[in-house]
Structure 1
Amino acid sequence: MTIYSEQEAKAILDKAIKASKADGCSATLSGSNAGNIRYALNGVSTSGSVSDCDLGVEVSFGKRTGTATINHFDDASIEAVVRRAEELARLAPENPEFMPQIDKQTYKASNTYFEKTAAVTPEYRARVAAACIEPCRKDKLVAAGYFVDTASFVATANSKGNFGYQKSTDMDFTCTVRTEDGKGSGWVARNLSDVSAFDPKSDIQTAIDKAKGSVDAKALEPGKYTVIMEPAATAGLISFMMFGFDARHADEGRSFLSKKGGGNKLGEKLFDERVTMYADPWDANAAVLPWDQEGLARARTSIIDKGKVEYLHYSRYWAQKQGKKAVGQPGNLIMLGGDKSTMDLVKGTKKGVLVTRTWYIRMVDPQTVLLTGLTRDGTFYIEDGQIKYPIKNFRFNESPAIMLNNIEEMGKSVRVQGDESPFIMMVPPMKIRDFTFSSLSDAV
């Protein structure tokens, strides 16, 4: 599939909007070209490419809505998908929280598209796999990983005259390296928009070193420890915490930002004063679309400033109900840090635990944002500023709201995307005191 130009996309959307007889109509055209390569046991297992493009139409009659999707864009098909959406709308029950199409928005383009990423070839993907497999074979290690590159576009329009168009690129890389006996494991991941900043030969060495270093792990008693959390480990916990920044959840008593007796904690200082987070769709290292899933324009938004909560997300319905203004929901999260690397934090630690990655994170209690999960792929004991030996993995039970009050030091923020996270994130490594490990895990 070719990526539709702005003019081509607008022509298709205009036809859909014009064909509708409903009270309101919105349409989204999106498509992508994605290539991938997967390898395991030091050999490529699958590779391929996927191209797709869809037109989604949503219409409304009063408070009744209907949606339909199609992947053919001739005049007859566009007419048919609009009629189908209208049929479904007439059958649907009224939505008591219905909101009409958004008004016309002003979108400031963000730098989400890079030609080098869009031009990635099967040969390039093969070289990425080889850069991981070959050194592992030489060291009698076993590599398994996945690389995918995507070029995409999205265009949105509605019957109130709103229109937006933007192209994006993205690449995701992850690799796990195991020792032949399966007793040691290392892991590395990269998420970028610009593939020219990616160096698989350098990145794979991180996983190799951790796999070698994690053999013959010793058991450490569960308890509270000073922990060095690498950015990928931290991101998984913080991204779960961000679900609590929903104004309705907070107002209705379902969030850690709820006040007893009603209301929310907007404006209160709840974290260490070194904690500052914001969203910025135009951030040079983590740019995202300048609108959210509803088409609302995004803005640079302060979320936490020196420990104080400065933002809650108001859906359009909840904003109207509460007399607030709805703005685009953030698509990224940037957390300020310091200048040190992860190993710099290790050097300044008398006794502690280095955590490479947190995994299988699940919510235990949304009102305290208590989470549980596992460490994996390289957990090490630190003594006198040095990594002394590998330790067995733990299950943890910890709240990021508490974790962000127990900061001893932060390093330099790097781009990550946490497991199951809706955000692109810039997160620093952190030294945290009194992190709770509740039990041992046999996982490698």
Structure 2
Amino acid sequence: MTQLRPQEIVERALAASTVDGQVTYVTESSEANLRWAGNSLTTNGAMRSRQVVVISFVDGGAGMATGTVARTGTPDVAELVAASEQAARDAGPAEDAVALVSEVPPGAGDWDADAAETSIDVFAEFAPALGQAFGEARGREELLFGFAEHQLATTYLGTSTGLRLRHDQPTGRVELNGKSTDFGRSVWAGVGTRDFTDVSVADLAAEVQQKMAWSQRRVDLPAGRYETLLPPSTVSDLMVVAYWSMGARDADEGRSVFARPGGGNRIGDRLARLPLTLRSDPAAPGLETAPFQAVGGSSGSASVFDNGMATPAVEWISEGVLTNLVRPRAWAQRTGAPATAAVDNLVLEDRTATASPAEMIARTERGLLLTTLWYIREVDPQTLLVTGLTRDGVFLVEGGEVTGAVNNFRFNESPVDLLGRASEASRTERTLPREWNDWFTRAAMPMLRVPDFNMSSVSPAS
């Protein structure tokens, strides 16, 4: 059994089915990582894993029910299928029941190919450059901390309707923290990548060095509303929150910020004063992701009945106007609206914007420049009000120049409300969400200028 290829597991599971339908997918993953602290590499490693997910569909007379069972490694396929079928028999009718997908989506992949693999060799050029950065930081009496990770995950998805789909997903990220030797100052830089060929350690280290220099002067400010420059990482964290709230059903039933007062959703409403477009595209350069769905459970924004459904490019907000919401096929059929699948990347852009972040800083008479946000939590789903903390550098801009670092703050803001108040956007660039990068790494965002960002209280965090 340990020698079974993932395709063989899928085929054996489908052949063992005794019920009305089945979806099985196997994800083969390999990962390599480096971690460092105090200007020294501390660990490196490589891992491999396998997850097998079987979803059974049983029509018990009252309606189609589903059961999902997942195992790691190479499980007893017959036992796994039987457990999934029993879970379906024990469940009640699924309200998202529709016919399983049978149409082959574009980009189905080479089913017979072996799973893609990464190794520690992915860091062949990165590691020596990191060593050089360590030496330079020591010379400045500064400390570097952080990690680099690369994963290659290949998913094989098969269904009782005949679909055989395969996708290779590379995912990489780097986070680099700079600290003073007394740990009184802390700054951050990060980047997402597919293969590390586009990662410049020198650029990341230079960004950290600049922020460390900015933070040598400390200025204490009270809570209040400040003109604030949100760099791409912070914008991505906020826009991911908005994206995760874009379920059509929640909006249609009045439970989200995208619900229209009095009933229905806000599609067609202007959300942004700038011509901002929020979009997802599985073929976006540098952000490529799966062109079909593979999900183990149903939610308001996904359905196990939609496994194998194509995930084409979609604009969620088009030049400031809400255009689409995430809508599984069952809810689409119930409401007469088109089905729209979530995609695992996100791009925000003002196609008329030409300024760089540096040029936006130079145009700031007095305001704050953030580095990252963290511990973001939802307060009110009706307005999508969230709270969180600034982290690793809040800088004061005066007369177009950064003049020092200020204390951290707790903030209270709605990402959707911010879109309506943002007064300027830079060119869009690839970025790494700081808060959400355990789950979401593929993002491209601009810097946004918000005239009155709400710093609700001073935070003692460093």
Aligned ranges 1:34-183 → 2 under 5 Å: 34-62=31-59, 63-71=64-72, 73=74, 77-108=76-107, 120-121=121-122, 126-127=127-128, 129-183=130-184
Q: Do the aligned partners of 2:123 and 2:196 also contact (CA within 8 Å) in 1?
A: no
Q: Do the aligned partners of 2:6 and 2:28 also contact (CA within 8 Å) in 1?
A: no
Q: Do the aligned partners of 1:31 and 1:153 also contact (CA within 8 Å) in 2?
A: yes
Q: Distance in 2 between matches of 1:3 and 1:194?
A: 28
- Secondary structure at the residue paired with 2:104? coil
- Is structure 2 residue 259 aligned with structure 1 residue 258? yes
Q: How much has 1:9 moved relative to structure 2?
A: 4.1
Q: Do the aligned partners of 2:6 and 2:26 also contact (CA within 8 Å) in 1?
A: yes
Q: How much has 1:25 moved relative to structure 2?
A: 0.6
Distance 1:141 1:3, change over 3 A: farther
Q: Distance in 2 between matches of 1:106 and 1:64?
A: 25
Structure 1 vs Structure 2: percent identity of aligned residues? 26
Aligned ranges 1:258-297 → 2 under 5 Å: 258-293=259-294, 294-297=307-310
- Is structure 2 residue 322 aligned with structure 1 residue 309? yes
Between stretches 188-197 and 394-403, larger displacement belongs to 394-403
- Secondary structure at the residue paired with 2:276? coil
Q: Distance in 2 between matches of 1:239 and 1:3?
A: 39
Q: Distance in 1 between matches of 2:181 and 2:460?
A: 17
- Secondary structure at the residue paired with 2:121? coil
Distance 1:413 1:3, change over 3 A: farther
Distance 1:46 1:99, change over 3 A: farther
- Secondary structure at the residue paired with 1:221? coil
Q: How much has 1:130 moved relative to structure 2?
A: 2.2
Q: Distance in 1 between matches of 2:273 and 2:441?
A: 22
After superposition, the C-alpha distances for 1:414-436 in whole angstroms (9 at most, x for unaligned) are 12232226462110011221111
- Is structure 2 residue 12 aligned with structure 1 residue 26? no
Q: Distance in 2 between matches of 1:185 and 1:340?
A: 28
Q: Distance in 2 between matches of 1:323 and 1:316?
A: 10
After superposition, the C-alpha distances for 1:208-261 in whole angstroms (9 at most, x for unaligned) are 221232134211122111111110111111111123321111111111111222
1:430 to 429, 448, 452: 448
Q: Distance in 1 between matches of 2:260 and 2:376?
A: 26
Q: How much has 1:54 moved relative to structure 2?
A: 2.1
Q: Distance in 1 between matches of 2:201 and 2:117?
A: 16
Q: How much has 1:101 moved relative to structure 2?
A: 2.8
The aligned residue for residue 190 of structure 1 is 191
After superposition, the C-alpha distances for 1:324-350 in whole angstroms (9 at most, x for unaligned) are 332321221111132322111111111
The aligned residue for residue 397 of structure 1 is 412
Q: How much has 1:178 moved relative to structure 2?
A: 0.6
Q: Do the aligned partners of 1:98 and 1:317 also contact (CA within 8 Å) in 2?
A: yes
Q: How much has 1:158 moved relative to structure 2?
A: 0.4
1:412 to 424, 427, 434: 427
After superposition, the C-alpha distances for 1:253-294 in whole angstroms (9 at most, x for unaligned) are 111111222111111112114211211111113111101233
After superposition, the C-alpha distances for 1:118-166 in whole angstroms (9 at most, x for unaligned) are 6735655643642443222221112210111112211111001122112
Q: Do the aligned partners of 1:107 and 1:164 also contact (CA within 8 Å) in 2?
A: no
Q: Do the aligned partners of 2:33 and 2:120 also contact (CA within 8 Å) in 1?
A: no
The aligned residue for residue 377 of structure 1 is 392
In the alignment, structure 1 segments of 5+ residues that lack a partner are none
In the alignment, structure 2 segments of 5+ residues that lack a partner are 110-115, 295-306
- Is structure 2 residue 336 aligned with structure 1 residue 323? yes
- Secondary structure at the residue paired with 1:120? helix
Aligned ranges 1:338-357 → 2 under 5 Å: 338-357=353-372
Q: How much has 1:181 moved relative to structure 2?
A: 1.4
Distance 1:270 1:72, change over 3 A: closer
Distance 1:423 1:36, change over 3 A: closer
Q: How many residue pairs are counted as aligned between the two chains?
A: 434
Q: Which amino acid aligns with 1:107?
A: P
Q: Do the aligned partners of 2:30 and 2:117 also contact (CA within 8 Å) in 1?
A: no
Scaled by the length of structure 1, the TM-score of the pair is: 0.91
Q: Distance in 1 between matches of 2:171 and 2:213?
A: 31
Between stretches 229-238 and 120-129, larger displacement belongs to 120-129
Q: Do the aligned partners of 1:27 and 1:56 also contact (CA within 8 Å) in 2?
A: yes
Q: Distance in 2 between matches of 1:71 and 1:265?
A: 42
- Secondary structure at the residue paired with 2:50? strand
After superposition, the C-alpha distances for 1:344-382 in whole angstroms (9 at most, x for unaligned) are 111111111111111111111111111211112121111
- Is structure 2 residue 449 aligned with structure 1 residue 440? no
- Secondary structure at the residue paired with 2:80? helix
Q: Distance in 1 between matches of 2:74 and 2:98?
A: 28
